[in-house]
């Protein structure tokens, strides 16, 4: 398979070519072949065109995984309408920030959930000045996308300017990420980057029409969306779950002839716990393991039970995978420590603080180049210039290359908290806490958690005369942050540890 020269406007023909003989999606009791998926995707594309959407327009989607949502994704991809998938766990404030910062022309929601979330969705659309659309329900005859709220007048000029920029960038996705600064940014991923990522992954790990991908990752993450691309290119089947549930996933692995699945470490641990000491079934050929480093004990347990583990290093700015260790590449005793193989066409280098390349075996900052690297950050040339230098993506992660050019990741971004597979950025939480009237300054770091891997805790310097009310502070955070970002503990302190230049030393917050 070579997707490098895949034309975007031919994308639906690529899907259609697999025809009725290949099952595209299994979702609960539904089975949709590629011919049916193509019809649904074209219908969604035509609906958006009839509503006045053009190449380069951006539509945000806030809906749980569904067949209709997957069809919309493929239709938008072919039409050049940019997708901003939103995390339903974000607070209303965070969702509104994402919509306004991206200049979304529309918010697409699940029409079946209108009774539950309709008031919130209308507030979001009104606050962001965008149209409100609803995905069709399964039982609707034509399956048309419905308009619930029209776009306010007077925003055509700004929308046109943004559309032209995105068209020039050939943008396909905008994915929200906070980066190391904690300030939310929109990562712009083009169609060509999606194809290059799928091609590189297939070259390293294989991709066959007989594959059955279990997709239980969120579709607002690049890891979940990448599976849809990989499968569609070869005509493989995606077994779609609405959310990760360890019992449902274990059952699917045992009963649904799953060949490939993508997990973060906490998901794998829960599946192993659920399945107990039963060996992985022979039908399972690939367990892609990303989202942060897995413990040696977890990897050992998985290997002993026959799980075909493929530990992976990747990031949103590089369209998910950067380097992976294919299952079976090394003997078991080497498989815990051996380096990760870069994807085809991807270059990795290690640099020092001055940006100079270091020698093999020397630790430094990981930089990545190749066709998988993002276009840049949406409407943020300064952040783009800081992160992309002469084609190299500055990841901020620490690693080392061996003599064979394989990567060993020593640490993710030093302050990043990986909680239950979600990226939690301390600076984002600190900025919310700093806005509290009693807080002079705040510091946030992660503490180990058996269930989630890590959870955020906060250290607060309060104004004179103020006292810490942990319950009130928790409620304050819950109205402004997603629940997984809210600190589990609040601690009052007189001073935060800082370097001589004033930079907060988050790793030292727990020392006292």
Any domain includes 484: yes
Q: What is the 3-state secondary structure (H, E, C) of 153-200?
A: CCCHHHHHHHHHHHHHHCEEEEEEECCCCCCCEEEEEEHHHHHHHHHH
Query: Which has the minimum average pLDDT: 178-182, 367-371, 417-421, 495-499?
Result: 178-182
**pTM of this structure:** 0.85
Give 331's pLDDT tier (boundaries 50, 70, 90).
low
Q: Provide the token pair at 107.
A: 């918010």
Same domain, 206 and 162: no
Any domain includes 143: yes
Same domain, 170 and 248: no
Q: Among 347, 363, 391, which residue terminates a domain? A: 347
**282: buried, middle or exposed (CB in 10 Å: 19+, 13-18, 0-12)?**
exposed
Any domain includes 25: yes
Q: Among 332, 347, 362, which residue terminates a domain? A: 347
Same domain, 255 and 336: yes
Location of structure tokens 């393991």: 289
Same domain, 326 and 453: no
Same domain, 178 and 101: yes
CA–CA separation, 173 and 316 (whole Å): 11
pLDDT value at 140 more than 70: no
Q: How many domains does the chain have?
A: 3
What distances in angstroms separate CA 288 from CA 235, 263, 265, 314, one per listed residue? 19, 6, 10, 11
Query: Which has the minimum average pLDDT: 31-40, 58-67, 331-340, 380-389?
Result: 331-340
Same domain, 431 and 321: no
Same domain, 54 and 165: yes
Strands (E) located in 255-346: 260-264, 286-290, 309-315, 320-324, 341-342
Domain housing 464:
417-508
Taking the CA atoms of residue 350, residue 353, residue 354 and residue 358 in that order, the dihedral angle to the nearest 10 degrees is -30
Same domain, 249 and 165: no
Give 285's pLDDT tier (boundaries 50, 70, 90).
very high
Same domain, 182 and 218: no
Cβ partners under 8 Å of residue 161, min gap 6: none
pLDDT digit string, tens, across residues 388-445: 999 999 998 888 999 999 998 876 566 778 888 887 888 889 889 988 999 988 999 9
Look at the alpha carbons of 498, 499, 504, 507 in this order and tell me if their dihedral is positive or negative: negative
Same domain, 17 and 166: yes
Same domain, 202 and 122: no
Beta bridge partner(s), residue 315: 320
Any domain includes 29: yes
Any domain includes 374: no
Any domain includes 378: no
Any domain includes 387: no
CATH number, domain containing residue 430: 3.30.300.30
Same domain, 112 and 30: yes
Any domain includes 181: yes
CATH number, domain containing residue 294: 3.40.50.12780
Q: Among 347, 366, 399, which residue terminates a domain? A: 347
């Amino acid at each position: 398979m070579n997707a490098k020269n895949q034309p975007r406007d031919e994308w639906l023909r690529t899907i259609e070519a697999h025809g009725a003989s290949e099952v595209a999606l299994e979702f609960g009791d539904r089975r949709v072949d590629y011919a049916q998926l193509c019809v649904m995707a074209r219908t969604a594309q035509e609906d958006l065109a009839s509503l006045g959407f053009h190449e380069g327009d951006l539509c945000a989607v806030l809906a749980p995984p569904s067949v209709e949502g997957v069809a919309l994704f493929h239709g938008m991809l072919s039409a050049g309408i940019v997708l901003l998938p939103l995390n339903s766990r974000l607070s209303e404030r965070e969702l509104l920030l994402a919509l306004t910062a991206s200049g979304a022309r529309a918010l697409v929601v699940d029409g079946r959930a209108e009774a539950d979330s309709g008031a919130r969705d209308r507030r979001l659309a009104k606050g962001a000045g965008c149209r409100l659309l609803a995905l069709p329900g399964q039982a609707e005859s034509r399956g048309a996308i419905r308009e619930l709220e029209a776009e306010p007048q007077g925003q055509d000029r700004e929308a046109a300017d943004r559309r032209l920029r995105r068209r020039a960038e050939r943008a396909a996705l905008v994915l929200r990420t906070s980066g190391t600064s904690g300030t939310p940014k929109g990562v712009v991923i083009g169609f060509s980057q999606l194809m290059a990522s799928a091609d590189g992954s297939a070259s390293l790990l294989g991709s066959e029409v007989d594959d059955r991908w279990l997709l239980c990752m969120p579709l607002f993450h690049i890891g979940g969306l990448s599976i849809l691309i990989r499968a569609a290119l070869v005509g493989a089947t995606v077994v779609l779950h609405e959310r990760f549930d360890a019992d449902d996933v274990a059952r699917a692995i045992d009963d649904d002839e799953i060949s490939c699945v993508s997990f973060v470490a906490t998901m794998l641990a829960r599946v192993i716990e659920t399945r107990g000491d039963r060996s992985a079934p022979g039908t399972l050929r690939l367990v892609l393991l990303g989202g942060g480093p897995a413990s040696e004990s977890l990897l050992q347990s998985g290997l002993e039970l026959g799980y075909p583990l493929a530990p992976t290093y990747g990031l949103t700015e590089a369209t998910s995978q950067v380097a992976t260790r294919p299952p079976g590449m090394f003997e078991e005793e080497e498989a815990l420590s051996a380096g990760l193989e870069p994807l085809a066409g991807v270059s990795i280098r290690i640099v020092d603080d001055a940006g100079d390349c270091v020698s093999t075996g020397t630790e430094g900052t990981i930089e990545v180049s190749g066709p998988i690297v993002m276009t840049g950050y949406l409407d943020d040339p300064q952040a783009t210039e800081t992160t992309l230098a002469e084609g190299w993506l500055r990841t901020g992660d620490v690693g080392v290359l061996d003599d064979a050019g394989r990567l060993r990741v020593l640490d993710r971004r030093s302050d990043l908290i990986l909680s239950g597979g979600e990226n939690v950025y301390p600076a984002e939480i600190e900025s919310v806490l700093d806005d509290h009237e009693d807080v002079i300054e705040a510091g946030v770091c992660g503490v180990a958690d058996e269930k989630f891997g890590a959870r955020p805790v906060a250290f607060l310097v309060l104004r004179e005369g103020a006292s810490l009310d942990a319950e009130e502070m928790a409620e304050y955070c819950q109205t402004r942050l997603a629940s997984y970002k809210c600190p589990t503990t609040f601690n009052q302190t007189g001073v935060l540890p800082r370097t001589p230049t004033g930079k907060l030393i988050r790793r030292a917050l727990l020392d006292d």
